[in-house]
Amino acid sequence: MPDLTWRIARANRVILNVRRRALALAYLTLIAAVPDEQVAAIRTDATYVLTPTLIKGVSHLLSYWIQAQPLGQILNSVIDGGSCLHKEFWHPLRPPMVHLPIELAHLTESLKTAWSDISAHSTEQDEWLTSEMIRLLAVMDHGVETGACIVTALDFPGDHERAKRVRIPWMPSTDEHDPPRRSWWKLW
């Protein structure tokens, strides 16, 4: 019984911690399921434009604000881990990353287990965290079911000078290298 009490207390601390920090701003992490042959193509030619089968967005805060382990560590691996998609891509925080199908199944199962452990022992469900996890797991499940890779890319920075250097892999670059402005929240 003490183990269950400790787990409930830990889960509630995670939720309170997320609520306190949810008002801060963070990059939107775009997560896309992409056929592996397209990932192979863009790795040899950075101008190639990916055609994802599913795109969702989650807060980049998931990568480093969740303190309960192993959930926080797994989220960091999913959102900021993987291998660099191509050395020519740039973002002030990190370039687009890719998880290949071979590692995606393991990551998805680990994330589901850790999330289920936290949510099952929590007396309160945090709406923000739950909605973020639903979107994240939707893309990961889709990737596993279709044998796709998962590509993560951070949205454009707020300032024009840095934003014009960033290219989202499924958006073509323009002649002036200006980022196309699109409402990613519509993808949710």
Radius of gyration of the chain (CA): 17
Mean pLDDT of 133-152: 98
- Apex 138 CA angle, 69 and 90, nearest 5: 75
Q: Regarding predicted confidence, which is higher, 172 or 12? A: 172
Say what the pLDDT of residue 25 is: 58
At 86, which CATH number? Answer: 3.40.1760
Query: pTM of the full predicted structure?
Result: 0.80
Q: What is the pLDDT of residues 60-117, one digit of tens each?
A: 998 888 888 999 999 999 999 999 999 999 999 999 999 999 999 999 999 999 999 9
pLDDT at 46 over 70: yes
Say what the pLDDT of residue 119 is: 82
For residue 82, the enclosing domain spans: 2-187
- Report the percentage of the chain scoring pLDDT > 70: 77
List Cα–Cα distances, 83 to 99, 141, 153, in angstroms: 7, 20, 12
At 22, the pLDDT band (50, 70, 90 cuts) reads very low
Say what the pLDDT of residue 4 is: 42
Say what the pLDDT of residue 124 is: 67
Say what the pLDDT of residue 170 is: 96
Give the count of domains, the chain.
Answer: 1
**Amino acid symbol at 136:** L
Mean pLDDT of 15-42: 76
Say what the pLDDT of residue 120 is: 79
Q: What are phi and psi of 54, to 5 degrees?
A: -160, 135
Q: 101 in helix, strand or coil?
A: helix
